[in-house]
Amino acid sequence: MSERPYNMLFLCTGNSARSILAESIVNHLGKGRFNGFSAGSQPKGEVHPYALDLLASLHLPIDGLRSKSWDEFAVAGAPSMDFIVTVCDNAAGEVCPIWPGQPMKAHWGLPDPAAVQGTEAERRAAFQHAFAALESRIKLFLDQTPSSAAAA
């Protein structure tokens, strides 16, 4: 058996903020042990500019980030997921596609920073809070997970 990195899929309804942040964090901290992906049940079609600004300011990967449907990960030929994490309460309550390989599932509900009203500083602060919460959870998760997954 060969070894491969674990694949983590983060789901949110719009796939424009929280799940995008999580994807980038995993791809940065995973260091070849984990691959991060994100998707939404009703993707907005674009990544929120504050999410991209925050990630870029922290020198985290933003290349290739896009708002996409979770259907892309439920078809033949899609990457096989080991872990699926919902990051919004709406996505957690929706009927999800059947994921091949029976991945482990978790729910890390966080407030939507894109829904925050107020000044630009308050809205950007909401993204920073979401990022900090996701980064903390992801670091703990990665520290508790063995080195690699066996390839199918």
Label residue 28 left, alpha or beta by phi (over 0 means left) and psi (-120 to 50 means alpha): alpha
Instruction: Give me the catalytic one of 8, 11, 84, 88.
Output: 88
Q: Is 124 a catalytic residue?
A: no
Q: Among 9, 12, 114, 149, which one carries the catalytic annotation?
A: 12
Whether residue 125 contacts residue 30, with contact meaning beta carbons closer than 8 Å, is answered with no
* Active-site residue identified among 29, 96, 133, 142: 96
Catalytic (active site) residue 88: yes
Whether 33 contacts 6, CB under 8 Å = yes
Distance between CA 13 and CA 149 in Å, rounded? 28
**Contact yes or no for 152/82 (Cβ under 8 A):** no
> Radius of gyration (Cα) for the chain, nearest Å?
15
> Counting Cβ atoms within 10 Å, is residue 125 exposed (0-12), middle (13-18) or buried (19+)?
middle
Query: Is residue 25 flagged as an active site residue?
Result: no
Look-up of token digits 């070894």: 3
Catalytic residues: 12, 88, 96
